Amino acid sequence: MKTAFVTGASSGIGRATAVALAEAGFRLVLAGRRRERLEELAQQLAGTPTHLLTFDVRDRAAVETAVQSLPAEFQDVDVLINNAGNAHGLAPIQSGNPQDWDDMLDGNVKGLLYVSKAVLPAMTRRNVGHIINIGSIAGYEAYANGNVYCASKAAVASLTKCMRLDLLPHNIRVAEVNPGAVETEFSEVRFKGDTERAAKVYEGFEPLKAEDVADVIRFMVTRPPHVNVAEVLLLPTAQGAATTIRRS
């Protein structure tokens, strides 16, 4: 049985991915900040071997300690899903909140690096592995007031390409999934709990669901070893570009 390590598994795309990979026969390491949600997910996945890790990807020491604590049967990670990340605020650069900037860069970029660094020894030692980084259409198309979030996801795109090159000698596949509009808690976090404003983001069209993204991830990690689906842009049919959406 292969082992998959999913960050941000307590909600949204991470949670849906955990369910999809359990159905595909993976043993799971479920990582997130909200222990009670991870426990609830583990109960839902009864029958699938799971191990829970509670940490914030922005805390390098916590990431290292958590990964080092993995029981023997979970240590040889085959698949890493770097899903944890965030968006905070939607303001022009001149009035942006520096704390929001730090939170996005620390979570979306540095957190991805910290987790990858901690997990990679299990892959490079065996010359096998598969890493999927969750990016965004925002990493390829800048939009007004998206500034630091767009920059953080552009960094993910560049890191993915560089990781693929660096890890090529170790036979490790590295790929990226770039979703467009997905209805999760994303907008509630971006708008700091303003549920009414968050709901308006998805009004008048059918957005992607977390399960749609998870289905693509499951496809990617179940390809034969010689196949790497290196980059996927996944949009709802009603979305033509980052901020171009056909609404009813």
Q: How far apart are CA 35 and CA 138, in angstroms?
A: 30
- For residues 156 and 176, the answer to whether their CB atoms sit within 8 Å is yes
Gap between the Cα atoms of 234 and 179, Å rounded? 5
Distance CA 209, CA 214 (A): 9
Q: Which residues contact 245 (CB under 8 A, 6 or more apart)?
A: 181, 204, 205, 236, 238, 239
Catalytic (active site) residue 202: no
Q: How far is CA 212 from CA 35, 46, 130, 203, 229, in A?
A: 25, 23, 20, 18, 16
Catalytic residue chosen out of the listed positions 140, 143, 149, 202: 149
Place of tokens 């901020």: 243
The identity of residue 72, as a single letter, is: A
> What amino acid positions are annotated as catalytic residues?
149
